[in-house]
Amino acid sequence: MKHVLVLGAQVPFVQGGAELLNESLVREINKLDGIKAELVNMPYKWYPEEQMLNDIMAWRLVDLSEANGVKIDLVIGTKFPTYAIKHENKVLWLVHQFRQMYDLANTEFDSAHGGEQVTRNKIKSLDNKFFNECQKIYTIAETVSERLKKFNNFDSAPLLPPPALSSQIIPGDYGDYILYVGRLDPMKRIDLLIQALAETSKGKAIIAGKGTEYDNLFKLIKEKKLEDRCKLVGFVSDDELIEYLSHARAVYYAPIDEDYGYATIEAFLAKKPVITCSDSGEVEKIVRKTSSGIICESTEKSISSAINKVFSLSDVELEEMSQNGFEFAKKIQWDEIIQKLVLDNLK
């Protein structure tokens, strides 16, 4: 019996794409004969920035060479700072680094606005050290690989993860609403969808998810007098999500330089086009590659035009637009991921 540990950095009470990815990876590994996997989570706090050095040290000091007399044959790091672990057989499937140190440094999303440069330089140096220790480096998307090459000069191969609900999502009809699913966070730019909806009389919007932006979005909906056309439905169950996807007219997903974005793949599996923006990272790349959506400028006017467009198209035209995306999404499977992350590293 071989033993594999997947490593997760968990912000208490926060559940997002990285947490779903870790759980799914463990579940898929445990389907293999002769291999047992478990998830190891440690709490993570990114403020003040000096605390991140403590988080790194905590991972570095954990001995995962064996547990209860059983050898740990492989550890798989994911997002910062899990890859600080010291192990003779460490593989990385990078979700993301601490982006405020890299591509988001000195932007409006950099909470410390540059932070203490000595601390940041130390963390970057440690990142490079830990990456160099990895037997192999994979990422969850082309965008993450590009960042890793640009900022750290490490090559990596993207392995795109399928959404947890892949096998359950069923295409349905094309309804009268644009759907957003995900965390309610400023970087997701859900406010642009609301503002764009106010610019047109076409359609409605359903916003599913929870997060720190809920109150601001609620106020914006009232300010724009969209209470009858735009609904914040909060966290939804898997069955509700599948239903919303099945009957949406299109899916809006336009974060700033997104790492990957399950919502894009979920939309395609439901044969729904995706409305995104030219600076939305991996989402834009996938929509451009498949031509299964509309790429806008990050303005309410441009997104409003996209909304008008999807409501001007017939159901047949929307299905045709979505077909390449559907075929792309169907090819995203666990087989290659498990082979490259696990089986190739347990020989």
Strands of 74-77's sheet in order across: 35-43, 2-10, 74-77, 90-94, 136-139, 157-158
Q: CATH 3.40.640.10: does it fit domain 2-161+333-345?
A: no
In the 8-state DSSP scheme, what is residue 306?
H
- Superfamily of the domain at 166-330: Glycogen Phosphorylase B; (3.40.50.2000)
> How does residue 238 score in pLDDT terms, banded at 50, 70 and 90?
very high
Q: Tell me the C-alpha distance between 60 and 87, whole Å.
A: 9
Q: Tell me the C-alpha distance between 343 and 347, whole Å.
A: 7
Same CATH fold, 166-330 and 2-161+333-345? yes
User: If you average pLDDT over residues 147-171, what whole number do you get?
Assistant: 97
pLDDT at position 73 is 98
User: If you average pLDDT over residues 240-249, what whole number do you get?
Assistant: 98
> How does residue 270 score in pLDDT terms, banded at 50, 70 and 90?
very high
pLDDT at position 117 is 87
Q: Tell me the C-alpha distance between 331 and 345, whole Å.
A: 23
User: If you average pLDDT over residues 50-59, what whole number do you get?
Assistant: 95
What's the CA angle centered on 119, arms 113 and 123, to 5 degrees?
A: 105
134 residue type, one letter: C
Q: Tell me the C-alpha distance between 316 and 118, whole Å.
A: 57
3-state helix, strand, coil in the chain (%, to 5): 45, 20, 40
Domain ranges within the chain, ordered by starting residue: 2-161+333-345, 166-330
The rounded radius of gyration (Å) of the Cα atoms in the chain is 21
Q: Tell me the C-alpha distance between 228 and 205, whole Å.
A: 10
Q: Which of 25-39, 102-116, 279-293, 296-310 has the lowest mean pLDDT?
A: 102-116
Q: Compute φ and ψ for 80, nearest 5 degrees.
A: -55, 140
- Evaluate whether 208 touches 231 at the Cβ level (below 8 Å): no
Sign (positive/negative) of CA torsion 302, 308, 312, 317? positive
> How does residue 165 score in pLDDT terms, banded at 50, 70 and 90?
very high
What's the Cα-to-Cα distance from 258 to each of 42, 104, 222, 251, rounded to whole Å? 24, 12, 28, 15
User: Taking phi first (over 0 means left), then psi (-120 to 50 degrees means alpha), and beta for anything else, what does residue 94 get?
Assistant: beta
